[in-house]
Amino acid sequence: MAMLLKLGYSVTVEADAGAASSFADAAYVEAGASIGDAAQSWAADIVLGVNAPSRHQLDMLRGGATFIGVLSPNLDPDLVEELASRPITALALDAVPRISRAQSLDVVSSMANIAGYRAVVEAAHAFGRFFTGQVTAAGKVPPAKVLVAGAGVAGLAAIGAAGSMGAIVRATDPRPEVADQVRSLGGEYLAIESPEVEVSATGYAKEMGDDYKRREAELYAAQAADVDIIITTALVPGRPAPRLISAEMVASMKSGSVIVDMAAQNGGNVEGVVPDQSIVTANGVTIIGYTDLAGRLPGQASQLYGTNLVNLLKLMTPAKDGQLVLDLDDAVQRSITVVRDGELMWPAPPVQVSAVRPATGAAAEPVTPHAKRRRSSTRRFTTVGIGTAVFLPLAALSPPALLGHLTVFVLAIVIGYYVIGHVHHALHTPLMSVTNAISGIVAVAAMVQIGHGSAGITALAATAILLASINIFGGFAVTHRMLAMFSRS
């Protein structure tokens, strides 16, 4: 509310609009807003809503007004036609493209994050057993096994929530780039080998072909008989939800198992799901088809959705003078514009958000794994040969005392290469922040040598102490900052 006032707007809130989210009208008044009835609220220049407006609500909009909300224009062509028949501007906040600078406006991701977490809560409630494994005097309790179909924002939130509760979590997704994200949350990524699998060019999953669907069905059939909980999140923008779990798969699940179909509103990923209801099959499997999962955490949903709206108004109010400016040259604003002053603007031109760097110049020659191994082996043998050619003359000319130290030095280089050199780059910082403590040995050795022998030895020892100290204190500083990222405030 305070941010909207800073942008130059005066704000009217419909009476009891925040009651379900535990935000009283008095709180809005205290923040600087006024309270009005429905007619007053819908007569504003800019109306910020949540769900698509009804015909009655559209009748209350005045000419030239702007409505911003979740419109689902791809799935509701009748609403788009109704909006285009009126002299208004309509912006679909759920049509924000998946590009970096639009993340703060992405209401789909905000709500999916909440819904994914809530799906696990609903599953745990219906499951009625521990998620984590336990060994007690009364016996051993195995951990629950959870399968998440679709590793988008909702799926990743579900993976994180189920994993934090101690369950064994597995996940599938047609986008191979999400595998590392699944593993980073403690889940196991179940890959489906198919020629159709490729990095997404839009950030969303695409409709797959028959070959992929056949292999996918085989995987789900095997997993359904093994897991306790299935959470499906698969959606293709603008299309009905793909069918992933058949009635036969449901029938193969153990009694007491739970399925949460997060795509129930768009037709469902599970055969037999009933939107907005929880049903129990003949073999005792609970199928949850709630379409208001984000709304079941109303306080959090309101907070995040409100932030998305404020960020959009910041973008569209460049002068901070309370005047909304719709810039159709901006890819984000153009993507969400359904109607402008009664002119139909939907569908918007696609925005390329490829995760793959576009090719430039001539096409690169494909490199086979065999060729990569051959190049790696050649490089390794060349390096070893050069090192040997340098080491042997040096060893022949060195005194016996130095030769022993030189041998230890070379062995240390080899061991260090295999301990650190083959570690994934993502782990270099935490690994080095700990292993740099080895620099303490260098510092102690240099302290022993300083002040003994020639000035050259003293200078070399002083340099070693300086560099080792930088490594030691830098390592502890980095470790402290990394640990602070995981601490709860």
Question: Does 204 participate in catalysis according to the annotation?
Answer: yes
- Burial group, residue 340, by CB count within 10 angstroms (0-12, 13-18, 19+): middle
Question: Does 210 participate in catalysis according to the annotation?
Answer: no
Check: CB of residue 314 under 8 Å from CB of residue 305. no
Chain Cα centroid distance, residue 136: 36
Residues 6+ apart with CB under 8 A from 26: none
Question: Does 78 participate in catalysis according to the annotation?
Answer: no
Tell me the C-alpha distance between 247 and 271, whole Å: 6
Question: Does 265 participate in catalysis according to the annotation?
Answer: no
Question: Which one from 54, 103, 377, 398 is the annotated catalytic residue?
Answer: 103
Rg (CA), the chain: 30
Q: Count Cα atoms within 13 angstroms, Cβ side, for 46.
A: 20
Query: Pairing between strand 286-288 and 188-189?
Result: unpaired
Tell me the C-alpha distance between 289 and 260, whole Å: 6
Nearest to 100 by CA among 178, 204, 198, 203: 203
Question: Does 109 participate in catalysis according to the annotation?
Answer: yes
Tokens coding 329: 């040259």
Neighbours of 60 (CB within 10 A): 16
Question: Which one from 41, 109, 433, 439 is the annotated catalytic residue?
Answer: 109
Does residue 298 have a cis peptide bond before it, meaning omega lies within 30 degrees of 0? no
Question: Which one from 72, 94, 98, 175 is the annotated catalytic residue?
Answer: 98
Cite the active site residues: 98, 103, 106, 109, 204
